[in-house]
Every structure is written in C-alpha cells, then in structure tokens.
Amino acid sequence: MRTAAHPRRTILVATDFSKPAKLVIPYAFKLARVLNLRLIILHVVKAPPGFEQWSPGARRSLQSLKTKALLELGRIVRLADENGLMADHRLLVGIPEDSILAVARNPDVALIAMGTHGKTGWDRLRLGSVAESTLRRAPCPVLTVRASTAAHIPVNPYRLNVSRLLVATDFSASSKAAFRAAAVLAKQLNARVALVHAAEASDSFQSEPLRVDELSRRRYAGRLQKIISAFRADEVITDKVVVTGNPVEVILDQAKHLKTDLLIVGTHARRGMKRLVLGSVAEAVVRRAACPVFIVKAQARKPFEMTTSTRRSPPRGSIG
C-alpha cells in the first residue's frame, strides 16, 4: 500500500547492477519509507562523447545493452512497488558520474544512493571510482555501500535493521551538518547515535595512547554537548567517545566496536592538489567501512528537515 502523501523529493539510486549496487537497494528503500521520499532508479550505459556517430554495428550493441538494462530497472521498480514505495526509472548513455550528477542537480533530489567496490591502492588510482568522484561533486548527501557489507541484507525495508548510528565529528561545519542529518535519521529510525571525535595527540595526554586526560575530557565534553544541544538531540545520543589517533582508524575501529549499522561523516569536499596532499577522511572511510556510509557536506542541500518529535529517551552516555 502506498503512503497517503505523494512525496515530491526523491532518492536517486544510481546502479550498475553489480553486487554493491544491489546491496544499496534495501537501504535506499528503508530511507525512502521512513523519510517519505520517492525513488529514481538510474542506470548509465557507459559510452564516450560522440557515441551517436558510432557505426550501425556498434549502435546495435549499445541498444542490446540498453534493453538488458531496462529489464533490470523494471525489476527494481516492481520491487519498490511491492514494498509500498513510489519509484521511477531513468536510463541514460554517457559518462556515469557526469550523468549521475546531471540528474542530481534537480533540487528535488534529496540524496544519492550508490554502491562502491571500495578499491584501494593502485586499482583505485588506475580505474578511478564513480562513487568517490560523485561524492566529491554531488550537490546533496551521498549514501554508499561496499561489496563487503553483510551479505544477508533483507530487501524488505521493514526487516532491515538500522538502529545504531555513528557520527564522526571534528567540530567543523561539515561534521555539524553530518550530525544534524544523524539527529533527524535517528528519530525517524528509532535509532541510537554514537558521537565520535578523534583528538590529536599532545603532551597533555597520559601514557595510555587512546584515552584523553581529565582536563581534555571535560573540554571535549563541553564542545560535544554544545553540538548536541544546538540540534536538541540529547534524547538520541547514547555514546560520546573521544580517543586519540588517526581519524580514519579511530572511526573504523569505533564503528566495529559499537557494531554500527550506518556511519555518518561530513566532508570538506576538497579537490585537486589540496585533496591529494591532505587526503580525505570521508573517502578513506567509504573505501574501507564494513557498513554503509552517509556522506554530508556543509554546503550541500539538506536531505530532510529537522523534526521535533521524539520516540525514545535512551540512557545518557559518557566520554570513553
């Protein structure tokens, strides 16, 4: 049964029909259901500029690929319909990331959902990553799911459990935007949120490398509480963790330790030489995380509005 309200805003699900692309479908369905969003299922048949001038034989091969893709797109749309969701499909020909971004520029697109193969090292540099290129340039948040995510994910969004969220914060504008999104999601999913900060090592830290001293503990507690209070999110926070170390390693270790269902990370979306020199925590997390990752930029359009309703009052957490 469809929802009474007909949503205008959409989740753009970019799929190449690979394993990670199939794994992202249940998560897109889940978010569409709890946030009352439509779905656009998009597939891009990869072809360089000028494909219109191809030979007749090449154009026939392209048409065969389009026919197969339409069958797959139709299957996903039917699956969405069976789960009470509103979905349409789009089939384009061109460069995948450029085509995805062209559709995403529509202001009704609340977020992009896509799979990623999570390549690292030489393979990533040689082959590139459509997901990483998209998240760097996307005008909205991007949800990614790696191929190594748990294999037995139910397609039915009612059965998919997303009850443990982890938000990484460095107190920047982008991480505050990520926390804002997490606060909204937690209330809609009836989930609990762990707020994690990776502190830089300094002489004030005790000999134990992963813990902060009492003075730093109180200072960070105050900063974290300011963020929580600003978004009226006290009722969804169950853990506030500050540890020292490399941000990527801290985030991934805490996600594993807390059995996280969804990681939410802000990104500064640096490009060019600055990104190569400084690296990107968000991209590194996307490549290695064992659970889905939701990437949010401070300047990107907001995927959903803050709600004031609450469903639960979890116990108060503490800085570890």
Q: What residues are paired with 168 via a beta bridge?
A: 196, 265
- Averaged pLDDT, 268-278: 50
- Averaged pLDDT, 300-307: 64
Question: Do 16 and 117 have their domain in common?
Answer: yes
Measure the CA–CA gap between 213 and 224, rounded to whole angstroms. Answer: 16
Measure the CA–CA gap between 71 and 313, rounded to whole angstroms. Answer: 46
- pTM score, whole prediction: 0.84
Question: Do 16 and 141 have their domain in common?
Answer: yes
Q: Which pLDDT band holds residue 58 (cuts at 50, 70, 90)?
A: confident
Count the domains in the chain.
2
Task: Render the burial of 230-260: b for 16+ CB within 10 Å, e for the rest.
Answer: ebebebbbbbbbbbbeebbebbbbbbeebeb
Q: Which pLDDT band holds residue 157 (cuts at 50, 70, 90)?
A: confident
Task: Render the burial of 271-294: b for 16+ CB within 10 Å, e for the rest.
Answer: eeeeeeeeebbbbbbbbbbebbbb
Write down the pLDDT at residue 78.
Answer: 97
Which of 119, 146, 173 terminates a domain? The answer is: 146
CATH number of domain containing 262: 3.40.50.620
Q: Which residues are within 8 A (CB) of 150 and not within 5 positions of it... i.e. 6 or more apart?
A: 290, 291
Looking at 11-25, 147-161, 256-270, which range is the least confident one?
147-161
Measure the CA–CA gap between 83 and 92, rounded to whole angstroms. Answer: 26
Question: Do 121 and 169 have their domain in common?
Answer: no
Looking at 64-73, 84-93, 100-109, 123-132, which range is the least confident one?
123-132
Write down the pLDDT at residue 164.
Answer: 96
Question: Do 96 and 216 have their domain in common?
Answer: no
Write down the pLDDT at residue 274.
Answer: 46
SS3 content of the chain, % helix, strand, coil (to 5): 40, 20, 35
Whether 82 maps to a domain, the answer reads yes
Q: Is the per-residue pLDDT at 185 higher than 90? A: yes
Write down the pLDDT at residue 186.
Answer: 94
Q: Report the interhelical angle of 56-82 vs 19-35 (nearest 10°).
A: 40
Whether 302 maps to a domain, the answer reads no
Question: Do 253 and 213 have their domain in common?
Answer: yes
How many C-beta atoms surround the C-beta of residue 201 within 10 A? 10
How many C-beta atoms surround the C-beta of residue 125 within 10 A? 10
- 318, 220 in Cβ contact below 8 A? no
Taking the CA atoms of the chain, what radius of gyration do you get in angstroms? 20
Whether 195 maps to a domain, the answer reads yes
Whether 101 maps to a domain, the answer reads yes
Which of 146, 174, 196 terminates a domain? The answer is: 146
Q: Please give the distance of CA 224 from its chain centroid, rounded to a whole number.
A: 22
Question: Do 76 and 192 have their domain in common?
Answer: no
Whether 305 maps to a domain, the answer reads no
Write down the pLDDT at residue 151.
Answer: 56
Write down the pLDDT at residue 267.
Answer: 87
- How far is residue 240 from each of residues 123, 245, 262, 317, measured CA to CA in Å? 36, 16, 16, 6
Q: Which pLDDT band holds residue 13 (cuts at 50, 70, 90)?
A: very high
**How confident is the prediction for the chain on average, in pLDDT?**
82
Both tokens of 311, joined, read 């469903």
Whether 15 maps to a domain, the answer reads yes
Question: Do 122 and 17 have their domain in common?
Answer: yes
Q: Is the per-residue pLDDT at 210 higher than 60? A: no
* Percent of the chain scoring above 70 in pLDDT: 80
Q: Is 212 exposed, middle or buried (0-12, 13-18, 19+ CB in 10 A)?
A: buried
Write down the pLDDT at residue 257.
Answer: 95
- Averaged pLDDT, 23-48: 94
Q: Is the per-residue pLDDT at 205 higher than 50? A: no
Q: Is the per-residue pLDDT at 139 higher than 70? A: yes
Q: Which pLDDT band holds residue 208 (cuts at 50, 70, 90)?
A: very low
Whether 154 maps to a domain, the answer reads no
Question: Do 171 and 285 have their domain in common?
Answer: yes
Whether 73 maps to a domain, the answer reads yes
Question: Do 170 and 62 have their domain in common?
Answer: no
**Where would I find the H helices in the chain?**
19-35, 56-82, 96-104, 121-127, 130-137, 173-189, 214-230, 247-257, 272-278, 281-288
Question: Do 247 and 190 have their domain in common?
Answer: yes
Which of 117, 146, 175 terminates a domain? The answer is: 146
Q: Which domain holds residue 112?
A: 11-146
Write down the pLDDT at residue 209.
Answer: 45
Tokens 């085509």 -> residue: 99
Both tokens of 8, joined, read 């205008």
Measure the CA–CA gap between 235 and 314, rounded to whole angstroms. Answer: 6
Question: Do 77 and 126 have their domain in common?
Answer: yes
Question: Do 142 and 168 have their domain in common?
Answer: no
